[in-house]
Amino acid sequence: MSLAVGLSGLIPAEAAAQWSGDVALGVRTYPREPSDAPAAGREASVSLRATRSFSWSDGSQFLTVSPLLRLDPESVSRSRIDFLDLTWEKIWTRWEVAAGLRQVDWGVTESGSVVDVVNQLDFSDDAPSPTPMGQPMVNVRFFPSTGLFEAFLLPFFRERRSAGRGGAIWSPLPLADAEFEHSWGRHHPDWALRWSQMIGDFNVAVAHFGGTNRQPRFEATSDPSGEAESLTPHYDQIDQTSLTAQWTHDAWLVKLDAVRRASQVESFVALVGGIEFAFATYLSVFAEYLYDGRGSGATTSMEHDVFAGARLLTQDWTISSRVFVDRRNSNLVLSTTASRRIGDTAAAELDGRWFRGDSSEEPSRANRLDSYLALKLTYFF
């Protein structure tokens, strides 16, 4: 690949690496036309994901390159050229420093994490869940005798991608340019600190984030006659303190993700908690509860929901089912994904989601309200 050729002159000769990744063709169809969104009845795309890691200086320095290419023949806004990871790392005995584009995953729950606040999300992807986007950062990690301390400097903000019918909201209104609470906009430097520790059977982490909220608020902009003509994403400045905890006992896992977030607009508590039980190594079942103190004012529709799910793993098959039930109005979302390996280098995946209920009662008109059926064929290299 041309990227490897360009890097070859910058990486020491002893660096060893090999490309790995996948090429995927995906098609998604929507059986019901929405009454409130001018969206296509189907979407198709082809994507390329690749990863290559270089190491030198006796394994104390690394460079990880993970490009992403997605093309949608019918939607330029869903097409994307990006890096999921483009990171240089240096390792000492008790210190690590990394700089570049990275993905950071803090949550431990299955249904969704409220604590992941570093990376922006791409809702235009074909995946069952939105894909984290690479975040520009400098990450310093310190390993004392116990625990792990991390510091993050995030010098640049990335806006949420919501293109396509799989986007973050339903609306017949176009999205206007984003507005930011801070005058520096996308260039406001954000930061985060995190401490994590294993204490017996408990895995505990506490973190604090200060900066631009990755979740926008959407406000309608009206024309002189008072009729709404567009939706404007607003990105507020927030302070968020989070706790993640997981207790492991035999085949049981007890999990908790919890946050307290404060801004000029609102202050609230949100959490996801539940259990997981594994039957041998091939079947796991989950039960969780999702709570958001904002209620109907939440920027997510999972603010008072009960979640249950199961995952079956065999040599050739991966099958998972998930159901969300809203306790306020009994709205229900059921999703199932079945993936089968084809030989040693390919796989086929069928993914479906079905919504039952009244979408007008859901906060923020989130993308969970759209039923669909998707097929993806993937070749691995």
* pLDDT per residue as tens, the chain (381 positions): 444 444 545 555 555 568 999 999 999 988 866 544 445 578 899 999 999 999 999 999 999 999 999 999 887 778 999 999 999 999 999 999 999 999 999 999 999 889 999 999 988 775 667 889 999 999 999 999 889 999 999 999 999 887 655 454 455 667 788 999 999 999 999 999 999 999 999 999 999 999 999 999 888 877 777 676 778 899 999 999 999 999 999 999 999 999 999 999 999 999 999 999 999 879 999 999 999 999 877 777 778 899 999 999 999 999 999 999 998 888 899 999 999 999 999 999 999 999 887 655 554 444 445 688 999 999 999
138 part of a folded domain: yes
Distances (CA, A) of 255 to 38, 129, 275, 286: 40, 20, 6, 10
d(CA 119, CA 158): 8
Give me the half-sphere count of Cα atoms (radius 13 Å) on the Cβ side of residue 346.
8
List the domain range (segments joined by +) for residue 235: 18-278
Q: Do the domain assignments include residue 350?
A: no
Tokens of residue 167, six digits: 């986007």
Distance CA 249, CA 201 (A): 7
pTM of the model: 0.88
Asked if residue 285 is part of any domain, the answer here is no
Amino acid present at 360: S
Kindly state the helix (H) or strand (E) to which residue 193 belongs, with its residue range.
Answer: strand 190-199
* Separation between Cα atoms, residue 281 and residue 290, nearest integer Å: 27
Residue 92: what are its φ and ψ, rounded to 5°? Answer: -115, -170
Residue of 68, 95, 64 lying closest to 81 (CA atoms): 68
Residue 146 domain flag:
yes
**Domains in the chain, number:** 1
Domain for residue 324, yes or no? no
In a domain, residue 39? The reply is yes
307 domain residue, yes or no: no
357 occurs within a structural domain = no
Q: What CA–CA distances, in Å, run from 56 to 1, 14, 72, 137, 281? A: 21, 6, 38, 22, 37
